[in-house]
Amino acid sequence: MSSELRIALDALYTERKTLVDQQKKLAHRISVVEAGIESLSHLVSDGAPEVDLFSAPIIDGGSNDGIPIWKRIFNAMQEIGPAKAKDIAAHILESGYQTNSKNFVNVVGTILRTQTERFRKRDDGLWEPVAENLSMFA
């Protein structure tokens, strides 16, 4: 085989690998989006008001100090370290946060999955803040 053909074949193999990697990343993003849709679709069907869950303070019963939920998640991680969504949710509730949510773990999980500039899931399944972006938590 001529060297030009070998170069062309190698380039095609490289491009195929790149496309497969992109396909895997897109499949992961699609699963995150689908989980978010599933998690939040009941709010729309129940006629709940539209709220920006990621930046608006969530105040249930006036006892939550107006702190955005993503900040509470970050604070919990600072106190307990990397953790599963259920453990983060439990810690937030144990610290006195009150919610009317029927499934607060689901709320926390949705925020963790969709706030990728703030949080990431490690290979061991635990969530942690994105170290490069810690200044956004100040």
Q: Do 69 and 89 meet the contact criterion of CB atoms below 8 Å apart?
A: no
Same domain for 96 and 37: no
Domain that holds residue 15: 1-50
pLDDT in tens, 89-102: 999 989 888 877 78
Same domain for 71 and 34: no
Same domain for 5 and 65: no
pLDDT in tens, 107-119: 899 889 888 888 9
- pLDDT at residue 81, rounded to an integer: 93
Q: Is the pLDDT of residue 55 over 80?
A: no
Domain count, the chain: 2
SS3 of 29-98: the string is HHHHHHHHHHHHHHHHHCCCCCCCCCCCECCCCCCCCCCEHHHHHHHHHHHHCCECHHHHHHHHHHCCCC
Q: Do 2 and 72 meet the contact criterion of CB atoms below 8 Å apart?
A: no
Same domain for 56 and 46: no
What CATH number does the domain containing 112 carry?
1.10.10
Same domain for 132 and 110: yes
Q: Do 58 and 69 meet the contact criterion of CB atoms below 8 Å apart?
A: yes
